[in-house]
């Protein structure tokens, strides 16, 4: 097996189910050992607004907006991020993303690969209703 791999986003499983848009964890499809790499497409009026946020115990995340404009809620702060802009979020910061529209938004999410994502992630219920 070579020391490299190639995968098109459409070849990675879409974990969104019935929720609009798509979220594709390319980490496993690429066979990554160290880096978690996720592609997400968010239609207008989708994301975490009105529901949960999350934070991590040790994982810092970098979000890179490819297209569209996204609203990030970071603890009690709101930040709007446009195309070709990156934002780093420290592990302890509760976060959620919302696409207010009018167009689809696309982003890439990168972090250190976690052996146990469920143990690494803490959900924050009613996150958009607080702060």
Q: What is the CATH number of the domain that holds 54?
A: 2.60.120.10
What one-character DSSP code corresponds to residue 76? T
Greater pLDDT, 50 or 128: 128
DSSP 3-state percent helix, strand, coil across the chain (nearest 5)? 10, 45, 45
Mean pLDDT of the chain: 92
Greater pLDDT, 50 or 76: 76
Where does the pLDDT of residue 13 fall: very low under 50, low under 70, confident under 90, or very high at 90 and above? very high
Is 3 domain-assigned? no
Is 113 domain-assigned? yes
Tokens 């070709």 locate to: 84
Per-residue model confidence (pLDDT) at position 116: 75
Per-residue model confidence (pLDDT) at position 125: 85
Residue range 55-71: average pLDDT?
Answer: 96
| pLDDT digits 0-9 by tens, 91-113 | 999 999 999 999 999 999 999 99
Is 26 domain-assigned? yes
Task: Look up the domain containing 55 and give its range.
Answer: 14-129
* Contacts by residues 81-89 (CB-CB < 8 Å, ≥ 24 positions apart): 86/62, 87/62, 87/63, 88/60, 88/61, 88/62, 89/60, 89/61, 89/62, 89/63
Question: Which of 74, 70, 66, 76 has its CA nearest to residue 90?
Answer: 74
Share of the chain above pLDDT 70, in %: 97
Residue 109 contacts residue 40 (beta carbons within 8 Å): yes
Is 5 domain-assigned? no
């Amino acid at each position: 097996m070579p020391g490299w791999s190639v995968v098109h986003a459409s070849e990675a499983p879409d974990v969104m189910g019935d929720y609009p848009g798509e979220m594709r964890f390319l980490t496993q499809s690429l066979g990554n050992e160290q880096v978690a790499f996720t592609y997400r497409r968010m239609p207008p009026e989708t994301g975490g607004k009105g529901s949960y946020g999350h934070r991590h115990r040790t994982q810092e995340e970098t979000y890179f907006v490819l297209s569209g404009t996204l609203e990030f809620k970071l603890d009690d702060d709101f930040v709007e991020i446009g195309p070709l802009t990156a934002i780093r979020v420290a592990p302890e910061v509760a976060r959620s993303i919302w696409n207010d529209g009018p167009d689809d938004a696309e982003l890439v999410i990168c972090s250190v690969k976690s052996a146990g994502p469920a143990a690494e992630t803490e959900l924050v219920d009613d996150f958009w209703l607080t702060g």
